[in-house]
Amino acid sequence: PGFLKKELSRRLSIPVNYLQLKGWPSCSKITDSCILNELNLPQETKLKVHNTQSKAATSSQTGSRNTVTADSSKTSSSSFGVSDTSNSQKDKGMEVDDNDEDDDDDQVDDYDDDDDVDLINEYMWNDTQPKFGPLMPEDFTDETVALEQFTRGFIDRFGECHPEFYIGSLDDAIKDSLMLKAKERKPLAVYLHDDKSILTNVFCSKVLCSLEVVSYLTENFFVWAWDMTNDKNKKRLLSNATKHFGSVAAMQIKNYIPNQLPLLLIISRARSTNEVSTVIQGSTNLDELMSNLISAFELFQDQQRKDMVEEDKREIRESIKQQQDEAYAASLVADRLKEELRQRDMEIERVAQEKKDAEEKERVENEKSKAQKREMLAKKLPEEPSEEYKDGITQIRFHLPSGDFITRRFRGHEPLRYLFYFLTLKGYPNEDFKVLSRFPPQDVTQLDERKSFEQLKLYPQVTLFIAER
**pLDDT for 261-285, tens place per residue?**
899 999 998 877 888 889 999 999 9
Same-domain status, 30 and 149:
no
User: Which letter does DSSP use for residue 265 in this model?
Assistant: E
Q: Nearest-CA neighbor of 147 among 126, 164, 169, 130?
A: 169
Residue type for position 269: R
Global model pTM greater than 0.85: no
d(C-alpha 401, C-alpha 74), whole Å: 135
**pLDDT tens digits, one per residue of 324-361:** 999 999 999 999 999 999 999 999 999 999 999 999 99
Are residues 273 and 161 both part of a single domain?
Answer: yes
Residue 70 lies in a domain: no
Alpha-carbon gap, residue 57 to 363, rounded angstroms = 136
pLDDT surpasses 70 at 187: yes
Query: How far apart are alpha carbons 447 and 436 in whole angstroms?
Result: 11
Residue 27's domain comprises 1-52
Q: 84, 20, 85, 23: which is closest to 53 by C-alpha?
A: 20
Share of the chain above pLDDT 90, in %: 50
Q: What is the mean pLDDT of residues 219-226?
A: 95
Q: Tell me, what's the pLDDT at 418? A: 95
Taken as a whole, the chain contains a residue count of 469
- Asked if 192 and 208 count as a contact pair (C-beta separation under 8 A), the reply is no
Whether 210 maps to a domain, the answer reads yes
Q: What is the pLDDT of residue 105?
A: 42
What pLDDT is stored for residue 37 in this prediction? 63
Say how many Å lie between the first and final Cα of the chain, rounded.
Answer: 128
Kindly state the DSSP code that residue 46 receives in the 8-state scheme.
-
Q: How confident is the model at residue 1 (pLDDT cuts 50, 70, 90)?
A: low
For the cut 60, the answer to whether the pLDDT of residue 458 exceeds it is yes
Rounded to whole angstroms, the Cα distance separating 436 from 16 reads 143
* Amino acid of residue 137: P
In a domain, 160, yes or no: yes
* 417 Cβ contact partners less than 8 Å away, ≥ 6 residues apart: 449, 450
Average pLDDT in the chain: 80
Q: Does residue 254 form part of some domain?
A: yes
The answer to whether residues 436 and 464 touch, using CB atoms and an 8 Å cutoff, is: yes
Residue 28 included in any domain: yes
Lowest-pLDDT range, 174-188, 332-346, 361-375?
361-375
With respect to residue 330, please indicate whether it lies within any of the assigned structural domains. Answer: no
Average pLDDT over residues 169-191: 92
- Give residue-wise pLDDT tens across range 19-49: 777 777 765 567 776 766 666 676 667 777 7
Of 264, 290, 309, the last residue of a domain is 309
Q: Are residues 296 and 162 in the same domain?
A: yes
Q: What is the pLDDT of residue 53?
A: 61
Do 42 and 152 lie in one domain? The reply is no
* Residue 183, domain CATH: 3.40.30.10
- Domain match, 47 and 185 both: no
Confidence of residue 467 (pLDDT cuts 50, 70, 90): very high
Rounded-to-integer distance, Cα 108 and Cα 387, Å: 173
- Look at residue 420 and give its three-state secondary structure: helix
- Output 150 or 40, whichever has higher pLDDT: 150
Q: Which of the listed residues 279, 309, 339 is the one where a domain comes to its end?
A: 309
- Domains of the chain: total: 3
Q: Which of 309, 342, 360 is the last residue of a domain?
A: 309
Domain membership of residue 364 (yes or no) is no
Residues 158 and 272 in one domain: yes
Distance from C-alpha of 297 to C-alpha of 417, rounded to nearest angstrom: 118
4-13, 101-110, 269-278: least confidently modelled range:
101-110
